[in-house]
Amino acid sequence: MDSLFIKGPCRLSGEVTISSSKNAALPILAGVLLCKNKVSFDTLPGLRDINTINSLLSEMGVKISKEGNLTHYEAPDNVTTEASYELVKKMRASILVLGPLLSRFKKAKVSLPGGCAIGTRPIDIHLQGLEQMGAQIKVEKGYVEAETSGLVGAKVSLPFPSVGATENLVMAAVFAKGETTIENAAKEPEIVDLCDFLSASFSQLEISGAGTDKIVINGITGENISHTYTVIPDRIEAATFLIAGLITRSNIKVLNCNPTHIESVTKPLEEMGAKLVIGENFIEVQGEESNLVSTDIETAPYPAFPTDVQAQFLSLLTSINEKSVVTESIFENRFMHVPELNRMGADIKLQGRTAIIKGGKPLTGAPVMCTDLRASAALVLAGLTASGETRVQRVYHIDRGYESIDKKFQGLGANIERVNEPME
Ligand code: EPZ
């Protein structure tokens, strides 16, 4: 089991290149199940979650092959329609195979994803929408078993703009008969990327409203065309590195990002006094020149402040000599980085879904434990600014969503080493 050893405080410099988006690639790869003919990708990120969904897809019979920097996928007619507990338990996004399996194969048996560290994460919104489209669904013995004589387009209004439910329903609508309307749909850039991938795969497919709260899909029949798709850059990784530049008061340049995807992060950062130079596909952080004052944030669905950047932002707030309040409105248990930050000398109090930060006291290095992906990133950021050695344990959490995070920070001049440690 790997740990990261960080010797802080670190000053960073230079450039870092952002990888493709985990949260765009995962639904798109689930959508490969709709594609009988080969589809290829040129920039899939090297992440544990990508390996996990590839294992799941190949276990189901999807043909996956590599050719240089291309990865080819093909889902023949004899794909099995069952996703086992062994693989689904490793990554709850596996539930995204439900919509495409039902749409193309008219049946699916997928293990319930179960909760995770940050919350119970039910899938009731997914299932209600699929039932409205003509699926018969039963949930028993830890599995979702669904079948249909053929999905039919429906007008589905989501009680909450669930990202995963929107993605499952968009994919279910592809071969559904007639028009599907998803109201109160999630508006994340990853939804737009999924719709762009599906439109590129099925020339007759008409999808309108991607990125808005109303998506309309006219179902089709027929096979996909072969093409090569480029997944969008990871906006959460980009935001993480912006914050790394600020928390270490360094000047760094974040390359291969789409600044329009993270305006809900760059705007509060600029209001706090962060000096940013925003280009078309890069953002320069001038941390040395930034005199930061704190701000309060509340997470909410896109385009509001993203819950996936809350932990990293909270680490930054501990480095500012003021009081601030962070409210997490999406997940019920997404403050597991707080006790670990307090062990590094931070002064953060929790009241339900609110964290009150009294910043300014310099952090000191300590052994800390990863619990979930973004909390772990927050601990790395804290380690970069803390004085002394921080040992970040259970780095596999980070490797789920950050490609070679140690190498990327080494490239920026950080004193960070990955060490393989025996299981405790
Ligand atoms: C996606 O999760 C992301 N994961 C999450 O990123 C992200 O935090 C989340 O969207 C919110 O932006 C992927 O894209 C793979 P939701 P998802 O359905 O689809 C409740 C990361 O760190 N809900 O929008 O699971 C749910 O409990 C991960 O990269 C229901 O109640 O998010 C939660 O409170 C973490 N019923 C809220 O909605 C449902 O049927 C948001 O969930 C579905 C969701």
Ligand 1, atom 19: closest residue by C-alpha: 164
Helices (H), 230-278: 235-247, 263-271
214-218 and 367-369 beta bridge pairing: unpaired
Q: How far is the CA of 121 from the centre of ligand 1 (A)?
A: 7
**The residue count for the chain:** 424
Q: Backbone phi, then psi, for 176, in 5-degree steps? A: -70, 155
Is the CB of 311 within 6 Å of ligand 1?
no
3-state helix, strand, coil in the chain (%, to 5): 35, 25, 40
Closest residue by CA, ligand 1 atom 39: 123
Residue 115: pLDDT band by 50, 70, 90 thresholds? low
What are the tens digits of pLDDT across the range 166-185? Answer: 999 999 999 999 999 999 99
| Ligand 1 contacts CB of residue 378 (under 6 A) | no
Which of 49, 88, 235, 308 most suits a substitution to test ligand 1, by most atoms within 8 Å of the C-beta? 308
Nearest CA to ligand 1 atom 43: 123
pLDDT at 193 over 90: yes
Calculate the dihedral angle through the C-alpha atoms of 24, 79, 92, 140, rounding to the nearest 10 degrees. 150
CATH topology of domain 2-18+233-420: UDP-n-acetylglucosamine1-carboxyvinyl-transferase; Chain (3.65.10)
**Over residues 58-65, mean pLDDT:** 97
pLDDT at 424: 62
- Quote the radius of gyration of the chain (alpha carbons, Å): 22
Cα–Cα distance measured from residue 332 to residue 136, given in angstroms and rounded to the nearest whole number: 30
User: Could you tell me the distance, in angstroms and rounded to a whole number, from the CA of residue 82 to the centre of ligand 1?
Assistant: 22
Tokens read off for 126? 């997914």
Q: Is 35 designated active site?
A: no
The pair of structure tokens assigned to 333 is: 């248990």
Report CA(122)–ligand 1 centroid distance (Å): 9
Selection from 62, 63, 101 nearest residue 81 by Cα: 101
AA letter at 148: T
Contact 46, 19 (CB under 8 A): yes
**Cα atoms in the 13 Å half-sphere on the side-chain side of 289:** 9
Q: Is the pLDDT of residue 423 over 80?
A: no
**CA atoms 48, 306, 412, 368: torsion sign:** negative
Distance CA 20, CA 47 (A): 10
119 close to ligand 1 (CB < 6 Angstrom): yes
Position 147 scores a pLDDT of 98
Alpha-carbon gap, residue 82 to 98, rounded angstroms: 9
Ligand 1 atom nearest residue 330's Cα: 34
- What pTM was computed for the model? 0.97
Residue 233: phi and psi, rounded to 5, are -65, 160
Question: Domain spans of the chain?
Answer: 2-18+233-420, 22-229
For the segment(s) 22-229, the CATH number from 3.40.50.300, 3.40.190.10, 3.65.10.10, 3.40.50.620 is: 3.65.10.10
The DSSP code for 372 is: S
Nearest-atom number in ligand 1 for the CA of 128 is: 40
Amino acid at 341: L
